[in-house]
Chains A and B, each alone.
Chain A
Amino acid sequence: MSKETEILEEITGSEYKYGFTTDIETETLAAGLSEETVKFISAKKNEPAWMLEWRLAAFALWKTMTPPQWQNLSIPEINFQDIIYYAAPKQKKVVNSLDDIDPELRRTFEKLGISLTEQKLLSGVAVDAVIDSVSIATTFKSKLAELGVIFCSMSEAIENHPELIRKYLGSVVPVKDNYYSALNSAVFSDGSFCFIPKGVRCPMELSTYFRINTANTGQFERTLIVCEDDAYVSYLEGCTAPTRDENQLHAAVVELVAMENAHIKYSTVQNWYPGNKEGKGGIYNFVTKRGICMGDKSRISWTQVETGSAITWKYPSVILKGNGSVGEFYSVAVTNNFQQADTGTKMIHIGKDTRSRIVSKGISAGKSQNSYRGLVQVMKRADNARNFSQCDSLLLGNLCGAHTFPYLEVENPSAQVEHEATTSKIGEDQIFYCNQRGISTEDAVALIVNGYAKEVLNQLPMEFAVEAQKLLAISLEGSVG
């Protein structure tokens, strides 16, 4: 065994830091999925009739569908009757202020580095904290309300802003879009809603932190962000789950709507439990994320740092409908041990003078498989559309795989599309050079990987970029090459 392999095996073996469970009384629905389940969830949330109907229609549709098969993933068969579709921490009473949150839950989020006390929060970041199926707290709500910004849980939004929800829910990701979006539409339990009114630049980062706590539960959250004309918001999503031998399903839907000249920046630091070194356990992260640049000159930017989950199936996309609109996708996806990721984006150019940019950096270690899958589609009317795609793969060791599946569909001859792809390995030369300057092999890998991913990390809001850098280093601990 070469030295390289040895170090590699040693580093690919670090422990997941967020694997603890919170011992709190939880109201849990028995496992199983039927119309009754859907009705139960809807009733639990005191939803209006139209919402229940929407869910039931989604459920009926889902039953006729089958899981997608085209991805480069080996997904064990999921028994949807074994999953718990609703689990919520029992809170003594209705939480009217942040001070009423159960101390145990507060501690849970503090352990995760998320403070639910407004004074202690990172200044400039408002948080919606979701545990299992429900949102337990949203900070800075009233301060944001002064500007007309709505930032609340999806449940509250259905209750308090039905006109907005009816208008936009399912407008970007239709219920029938795919198997998992249909499932989500039927059983989603919570999530976040953001609405930025015309002309408002949201003065703080909005963020949702998702936490799975209860065993055997699936998390099905729903996020909807609407930016009216000339509005701007930067939104961040983070997630973790306890260490468990059983796989857990997370099937979210995220929809973004940007009106004229609006800009939505959506960043994800995905750190679901990836399973252990032997590939046991971990989250199945099957997520549908899509934004529409509705208005002219609008812009949607997706940035994702994907380090967790046993299996990731995720393609944050942009429909470039408005003339002169811009779509961006910046991604770092790390897979280690037995993780599998099939992730990428779709850029659909409909309007004239639309531009898209794709920067994907895959990092594979251990025995993992990492695929980039991206579609660039230029429709007939999309004169002068431009796309630039850069898809790089970095391999640590010889047992992992990196794959690139770029698809291109161009129906307008004026389109300019550029695609670049590279595959590289961390060289022994690079590591030795670092060693010779006093840098240990592990730190050298972190340095090299962060350098490699820099273009993407630079897109993240400052505080999170630092976190993401550490996360990259941790996910690759034990995997040097």
Chain B
Amino acid sequence: MTAEIRTSDGELLSVKLKKVERRRRTTAFLLAAPLLFFIVFAYVIPIFQMLGRSIDNAEMNSFLTETHEVMQTWDGSEMPGEDVTSTFYYELKTAVENKYHGKIATRLNYEKGGFTSLIKKTSRKLKNFDENANFLDQFIDVHKKWGDIEYWQALKRGTDAYHFRKYLTTFDYEQRFDGSIERIPEKLRINVTLWLRTIFVAVGVTFCCFILAYPISHLLSVLPTRYSNLLMICVLLPFWTSLLVRTSSWMVLLQKQGVLNDTLVSLGFVADESRLELMYNMTGTFIAMTQILLPFMVLPLYSVMKTISPSLMRAATSMGATPFHAFRKIYFPLTYAGISAGSILVFVLAIGYYITPALVGGAKGILISNRIAYHMQQSLDWSLATAMATVLLIAVLVVYWLYNKIVGIDNMRLG
């Protein structure tokens, strides 16, 4: 063992070092603290709230607590007894008095179609009920659907405090009351189509961006600064234009009587009666999204290309490589970091886009994020919206994970 080393003021070296290091770490932490704090409150907590909401049904459970409780002893194989029906009657009556039966109807309708009208009709007739007679019979009198055991099963299930069924809906599956999991009827399937379309659009747009951005970035990296700045402004212009201005300019440009079609017709490339459909279809979606996301591909590519010395290509050609061979073997591999960073950026942004594609792409521009927005804003089925958002989030994380596996996150160059 060597003797303990001490600093010149007599302290143990290891202790002193720790002290100095701690001060440095504290400073570093304090510098990062505001951002950390912000991220936790603006990002981490909301994400966990979102995860929670996707399985949370507590409100519904609180509306019909007692019904839910008595139904626990009911096995669902035959029609429920009076204990269940009477409890439900009284709780529904309270709901009608307090005007939240609409919410009950909406929520139960997620479990089984037809519940909205069932609850509403029942609510209207509730005041005519004889509280001393058989409740089940009276329910069936009001609406024959109450005679269908599936509605009672849906009621039992629909008042669970939490459940994971929204995740099945996310992929167009449903859980039957016997517990089996099946695909929903073909005509109602929507989400899988949209997931696939979203991935297709995201991959396609990433590819289009790559094809367009590569030569532009190269040009930017070799032009003298005064020209490259001008070109960079052109590339970044979409960043500085408001969404509405951009969208309306696409309309002017792309519609049937738009600038592009007019030009093609007057040049004689297309006949007047067969003008190109550039909007309200996939073409429109691709054009719009590619334009918006192009800078996210250009910037990382540019920053990588800027660091590639022109003498490398010269060296390669001086050794006898044709310009193409030199590009393929030397220049292109050196831009991998930029390509992958740009691609992942564009891809991740593309799968989250929704306003632009829907405006320019019409029905074909509806992507999974439009569905999330639809459930957030229109149907108000926030559980489903958050379940879908969670799946989207996981998809993005998987992409990052794959990226890290294949390329390594350290190799990413964002410009």
Q: Do A and B come from the same complex?
A: no
